[in-house]
Amino acid sequence: MSVTTKAQLTGTEHRVLHAVARGRTNAEISTALSLPEAAVAGQIHRLQTKLRLRDRAALIVYAFDHGITVPQPHPAPEPRLRISVLGPLRAWHGAEPLDLGPIRQQSLLAALLLRPGTTVSQSELRDRVWGLEPPLANVIQVYVYKLRKALRHNTNPVIEHTGRGYRLPSAALNLDLTTLTELTTQAESTERAGDLPAAARAYHRALNLFHGNPLPGLPGPFAETERLRLTDRRLALSLAKARCQLQLGHEVLDDLWSLTAQHPHHEPLAALLMRALAASGRPADALAVYDRVRTRLATDLDTRPGRELHRMRLAVRRGEVAG
Q: Are strands 166-167 and 81-84 parallel, antiparallel or unpaired?
A: unpaired
To the nearest 10 degrees (0 to 180), the angle between helices 267-279 and 283-296 is: 170
Mean pLDDT of 69-97: 78
Q: Taking the model in full, what pTM does it have?
A: 0.72
Does the pLDDT value for residue 199 go beyond 80?
Answer: yes
Does the pLDDT value for residue 255 go beyond 90?
Answer: yes
In this structure, which amino acid lies at residue 116? P
Does the pLDDT value for residue 76 go beyond 50?
Answer: no
Does the pLDDT value for residue 3 go beyond 50?
Answer: no
The pLDDT tens digits of the residues spanning 292-307 come to 999 999 999 999 999 9
Determine contact, residues 233/272, Cβ cutoff 8 Å. Answer: no
Least confident of 91-105, 157-171, 219-233, 252-266: 157-171
Least confident of 30-44, 124-138, 141-155, 238-252: 141-155
Mean pLDDT of 297-320: 94
Adjacent-strand bridge partners of 156: 153
Mean pLDDT of 201-217: 95
Mean pLDDT of 318-323: 83
Q: How far apart are CA 18 and CA 13, in angstroms?
A: 8
Mean pLDDT of 71-84: 66
Structural domains of the chain, with CATH: 6-65 (1.10.10.10), 80-250 (1.10.10.10), 260-323 (no CATH)
Mean pLDDT of 27-48: 88
- Our measurement of the distance from residue 196's CA atom to the centroid of its chain's CA atoms, rounded to an integer in Å, reads 26
Does the pLDDT value for residue 123 go beyond 50?
Answer: yes
